[in-house]
A = this chain, B = another copy of it.
Amino acid sequence: MAAVPPSFLGTLFAVSADPSVISFAGGLPSTAVLDTVGIAEAAADVFADAGPAALQYSTTDGYRPLREFIADRYRRRVGLDITAANIQIVNGSQQCLDLVAKCLVDPGDAVAIEAPGYLGAIEAFSLYEPQFSAVPVGEGGPDLPVLERVVTRDRPKFFYAIPNAQNPSGLTYPEEARRAVADLLDGSETLLYEDDAFGELFFDGRARRPIAADLPGRALLSGSFSKVLAPGMRCGWLVAPEEVLAQFNVAKQAADLHSNHLCQLVLHRWLTTHDLDTQCRRVARLYEENCRALVDALDDLCPDLAHTIPEGGMFLLARLPRGISSLALFEEGVRRGVAVMPGPPFFLGGGDDVIRLNFSNTNPERCAEGIGRLAGALTALG
């Protein structure tokens, strides 16, 4: 967040606690579609069945039946040829960012990342002092000539990408871009680090094949239950080649011995007594409704804003008219009761000409009202 003035963070924090401000600046899933009752029942069942063992220390790699469930789902859903042995449980996929960088990045090593890119990844990687190489992404996926140049010239340790409904842009790599990325990285020194936080949240319910499936032994793939089951339980996973996973396991053990065992048991119980696909559709349907309302409001009320049209996920990106700063729009918006996320934190430089809008934690009425306020702010600045 070095890209924004310190005052921004203070205002953002104040805004999140102010009910009079309609916020598109955050990134929380909606709690309205979480199955609290089902998870409470799963917890009660775990205590009844496992007893004190539910509270004991556990293994670093994670609860084996949960890892088997995840591997089985990958095999069935996207044809990924893995077993529980390829999976490490972590505290949400955020922990993968930290530990992957810890295992693979020495100060000065090159790391390739999308522009715009996920803010949490930039922050986590930055602590290991890499040299970042930016790869612009757009409707067609990553800029392939740039990616090729970066891979050849900078030899990054990995290319970090979110091919499905990316945060912050909402963009999804088309099929042909996935194949091209796999072809380009295959045989290079650069691993793919594919973060799939949103792959269960496509509005059409269709699973997209991970690029990792076409880079056996050369790709890391992270996932999470945070977006569809329980963000606060902090449960995600990393799929990785055997030798990377062994190193990652050592780092995980040093970091916190193992992820919360009780919650792994509870999630596994829920997953084996409920239908995850039904739950994902429930979440995706709500987000689709919100996304349409947001897109309609933008097109009606802010026709000067070009924006992405997400196929899923929780975010879209809008480009501001020439001469309007996203940081200025943030300040003016807050004065008018609407908050948006300025662009600079998602870039390694620049980015003040775009804003990120969240649509998971809102509703159609708030979208219309909030974007109306944003239109006022744009007019005031224009």
Contact = CB atoms under 8 A, between A and B. Distances in A.
B31 A52 contact: yes
A123 B55 contact: no
Interface residues of A, number: 53
A37 to B, nearest CB: 8
B36 A51 contact: yes
Number of copies: 2
Interface stretch (A91-99, A153-161, A341-349, A365-373): A91-99
A32 interface: yes
Contact of A257 (B47, B94, B229, B262): B94
A380 interface: no
Contacts of A54: 36, 232
Contacts of A31: 51-53, 55-56
A172 B32 CA distance: 51
B55 A91 contact: no
B260 A234 contact: yes
13 contacts: A31-B52, A36-B54, A40-B44, A58-B232, A92-B256, A98-B255, A102-B127, A120-B254, A120-B257, A234-B257, A234-B260, A260-B260, A260-B263
Given A55-B230, A232-B261, 12 more contacts: A28-B56, A29-B56, A31-B52, A31-B56, A40-B44, A56-B232, A58-B232, A90-B256, A91-B259, A98-B254, A233-B262, A255-B255
